[in-house]
């Protein structure tokens, strides 16, 4: 069985460092035999999660579409910017909507429980976004996602990427690609 991997970044900015970063990890996952779908959260606009809105109108179609993508994939490659020492509100809101059950007979956290993820970050700052990954790891684990122990952060992201979107430092490039490959390998083992 070919592991199905969904790759996305917690940033919708056109020249997002984190979208470039997750694309590198996705290439590593593909080369390791994974079937990878790369998406841009800009294509899934959602209102800020509001329980009253959910009760009155149900889950927005874009949230439903993204949740279905999560359900259909075995693992996730997630890159997140760090905003004020945390991961992005865009990423949190997306996870919040996708975590909601749409019926009484839907298993809790169906889009997340038993899935596997690799996380990474790129930031203009000197710490590379590592503080945001602490919170992201905790959230993902709390909703039933197995998060690979290895992660990668890229500091000074404004000068870390080459014109073609790769990382200028070959050690960083190889480490990020390896995250994708390691995710495929673990998903393959877990799926038997």
pLDDT score at 6:
98
Q: What is the CATH number of the domain that holds 52?
A: 3.40.50.360
Number of domains in the chain: 1
- Distance separating alpha carbons of residues 137 and 102, to the nearest angstrom: 25
Say if residue 192's pLDDT is above 90: no
- Using the structure block, give the residue that is written with the tokens 């779908």: 37
0.85 exceeded by the pTM?
yes
- Distance separating alpha carbons of residues 54 and 69, to the nearest angstrom: 20
Please give the backbone phi and psi of residue 29, each rounded to the nearest 5 degrees, phi first.
-65, -40
pLDDT score at 146:
98
Q: Which domain holds residue 111?
A: 4-191
HSE toward the beta carbon, residue 76, CA cutoff 13 A? 32
pLDDT score at 1:
84
pLDDT score at 185:
98
pLDDT in tens, 49-84: 999 999 999 999 999 999 999 999 999 999 999 999
């Amino acid at each position: 069985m070919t592991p199905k991997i969904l790759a996305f970044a917690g940033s919708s900015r056109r020249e997002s460092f984190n979208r470039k970063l997750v694309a590198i990890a996705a290439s590593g996952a593909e080369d390791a035999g994974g079937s990878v779908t790369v998406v841009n959260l800009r294509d899934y606009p959602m209102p800020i999660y509001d329980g009253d809105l959910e009760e009155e109108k149900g889950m927005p179609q874009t949230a439903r579409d993204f949740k279905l993508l999560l359900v259909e994939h075995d693992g996730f490659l997630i890159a997140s910017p760090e905003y004020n020492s945390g991961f992005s509100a865009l990423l949190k809101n997306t996870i919040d909507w996708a975590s909601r059950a749409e019926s009484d007979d839907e298993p809790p956290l169906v889009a997340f429980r038993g899935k596997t993820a690799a996380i990474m970050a790129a930031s203009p700052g000197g710490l590379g976004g590592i503080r945001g990954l602490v919170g992201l790891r905790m959230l993902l684990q709390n909703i039933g996602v197995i998060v690979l122990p290895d992660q990668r952060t890229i500091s000074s992201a404004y000068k870390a990427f080459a014109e073609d979107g790769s990382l200028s430092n070959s050690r960083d490039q190889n480490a990020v690609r390896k995250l994708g490959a390691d995710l495929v390998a673990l998903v393959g083992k877990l799926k038997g």
